[in-house]
Amino acid sequence: MKKILYSFLLVSSVCLFGQKNPSAKFAVANDIVGTVDMFKDKSDFIQSMHVYKTPATLPQNLKKFSYLADNGITEFKIKKGYENLDRLTLAQLNVQNNLPKETPVIIEGYEFSNPETSIYADILAKTEVKDYNGKKSLFITTTQK
């Protein structure tokens, strides 16, 4: 009975931590990942915006982000002079949290496996280190709850 209970708890924890947030709407600007919500208050920075509804419609420069396009992905063009929003790489985040640089980072349930991916610091609402597939990984939530 203990084995069955342990197995159930293990499977349910994997399902709970591995779920993608269906309300997460990712955005990319200058090859840096952010969220659509992050750009709502920055309308004076935005030159243009284009929404891609499916991974199949992504242009070549965004194909590397197709794993984020379950709910579509928005590409923002930033006006000249406003490109200096705070950003950091996932490798830098891992090091700050005492994890190996190459450790995948989970953002809203989406696994980012390339440590050189840059993200905007504005999306870091909550960060915590948890077990993921038997290794400690950084989990990021982009909205305050």
- Give the chain's domain count: 1
pLDDT of residue 18: 53
pTM of the model: 0.81
Could you list the residue range(s) of the whole structural domain that residue 13 is in?
2-141
Alpha-carbon distance of 97 to 131, in angstroms, equals 13
Q: Residue 110 in contact with residue 68, Cβ under 8 Å?
A: yes
Reported as a single tens digit per residue, the pLDDT across 65-121 is: 999 988 899 999 999 888 788 999 999 999 999 999 999 999 999 999 999 999 999
